[in-house]
Amino acid sequence: MATSTRSNAHHPGATMRNLNWSATEKAVARKAFDLALQRDLEAVMAETKTKAGKVRQPSDLWELERYLTERRKHIDRQYDFRYSVFPLVFADLIRQGRLRAEELRGLAEDKLEYIRWHSRL
């Protein structure tokens, strides 16, 4: 496996895009994707309520606007729903604490290997 990881590291993208996802794996991936997205959105909803509650002066309004714009763009960029890039998406989500490795249980070793590799980058 160490050899395989080292070999993947040379052309990780090309091989990653050719991975085959079984129907079960697709279901696991979609569930994990939706779970992380839901967590992200709930965090933004909670933070928005906190920030709005603390608005005391006009500059706080525009700071809230910037926060929302930044979060919307980040979420749009991060949650790329294509199986071909899911390993990268999941690796990022694990690094950011939005997903735990055990929530990807059910994916085959070829995907997990990519996810582990990228989440440690």
Q: Residues in the site for a copy of itself, rule: CB under 8 A?
A: 41, 44-45, 48-49, 51-53, 55, 58, 60-62, 64-65, 68-69, 71-72
Single-letter amino acid, residue 67: Y
Quick one: 61 or 85, whose CB is closer to a copy of itself?
61
> What is the smallest separation between the CB atom of 114 and a copy of itself, expressed in angstroms?
29
DSSP letter at 54 equals: T
In contact, 48 and 65? CB cutoff 8 Å: no
Q: Give the span between the Cα atoms of 65 and 46, in whole angstroms.
A: 15
Write down the least CB distance from residue 31 to a copy of itself, Å.
18
Nearest residue (CB) to a copy of itself, 26 versus 73: 73
CA angle 109, 25, 85 (to 5 degrees): 80
* Minimum gap (Å) between residue 69 Cβ and a copy of itself: 6
